[in-house]
Amino acid sequence: SYETPDKVAEADDGDEFEENDGQNPELSSALPWDLEHVPLEFKRLPVEETIQRSLEFYNLMSTRRTVRFFSSDPIPADVIRNIIRAAGTAPSGAHTEPWTYVVISDPEVKKKVREIVEEEEYINYTKRMGDQWTTDLKPLRTDWIKEYLTDAPYLILVFKQLYSFKEDGTKCTHYYNEMSVSLASGILLAAIHYAGLVSLTSTPLNCGPALRTLVGRPTSEKLTLLLPVGYPAAHATVPDLKRKPLEDILVEI
């Protein structure tokens, strides 16, 4: 690729460099400048089927619950891999795909994760969160003891990549990385639910750097979510929450 205007002037054939279409020669995109656009593969469904599917998907998703009590029954690793493949289909800013999923099944590493999280969560609940926050959470009966971190067969650590590096060593901006990872996380949760498993979107406060170091990820990545994945424990309970009805969440103009 071009680096300086001098180089551009010197260049006399297209063998050693890529054309950049008259753009600023100092700049290169992370994607190939001549990326092909191909016909969309799309099969239009009969409208009746679209109506049916929209209702079916809602009915399925309405049975998803956040679960805090896990069975240690195993799950095939391929199921977890497929779930993460699904998350990786999310849209992302400039197609930068700014996510890393670290999957932990090693009991020793899960134990270390639990130690890190419980130590911080104890401080969170007793000091950092304050009276209003802990009062707001009381009905959910959460506390700093996190048995699910060692009970669940898998922990998925979701990292957002703040930036990366292109092949030429220049920095690649990950536009909207927070939004992109959030979108992917929604798909991840839907995939877990569709597969017949349960999860919990835990966001361990103040544990990010210690967990990132534990799993050997670079400082360009930030932990956003920690999801235990598995089957619910036989005795699992959930708070009897109701969801807002459509008229409270939808404004039609």
Q: Tell me which residues touch ligand IYR (CB under 6 A).
A: 121, 137, 140, 142, 202-205
Nearer to ligand IYR, 55 or 238 (CB): 238
**Token pair belonging to 209:** 């750097």
Minimum CB separation of residue 114 from ligand IYR in Å reads: 12
**Shortest distance in whole angstroms from residue 142 CB to ligand IYR:** 4
Within 8 A by CB and 6+ apart from 220, the residues are 161, 162, 163, 164
111 to each of 67, 217, 224, how far by Cα in Å?
Answer: 19, 18, 20
Closest CA to 225 of 196, 205, 239: 205
Structure tokens belonging to residue 13 = 């054939």
Quick one: which of 156, 222, 151 has its CA closest to 185? 156
The least distance separating ligand IYR from the CB of residue 70, rounded to whole angstroms, comes to 14
Determine whether 211 is exposed, middle or buried from the number of CB atoms within 10 Å of its CB (0-12, 13-18, 19+). buried
| 44/243 with CB nearer ligand IYR | 243
For residue 73, give the 3-state DSSP assignment.
coil
CB neighbour burial string for 130-143, b if at least 16 within 10 angstroms, e if fewer: eeeeeeeeeeeebe
| Among candidate residues 82, 88, 105, the one with its CA nearest the CA of residue 194 | 82
Report the alpha-carbon distance of residue 203 to residue 136 in Å, rounded.
16
Which residue in the shown chain puts its C-beta closest to ligand IYR? 142
Report the residue number, 20 or 142, with the smaller CB distance to ligand IYR: 142
Side chain identity at residue 104, one-letter code = I
Taking the complex as a whole, the smallest distance from the CB of residue 204 to ligand IYR amounts, in Å, to 6
**Least distance CB 203 / ligand IYR (angstroms):** 6
Comparing CB distances to ligand IYR, the nearer of 97 and 121 is 121
- Say which residue the tokens 């922990």 belong to: 155
> What distance in Å separates the CA atoms of residue 150 and residue 152, rounded to the nearest whole number?
6
Residue placing its CB nearer to ligand IYR in the complex, 1 or 66? 66
In whole angstroms, how close is the CB of 230 to ligand IYR at the nearest point?
Answer: 17
Q: Which is nearer to ligand IYR, 80 or 117 (CB)?
A: 117
- Residue closer to ligand IYR (CB basis): 37 or 138: 138
For residue 132, the minimal CB distance to ligand IYR (Å) is 11
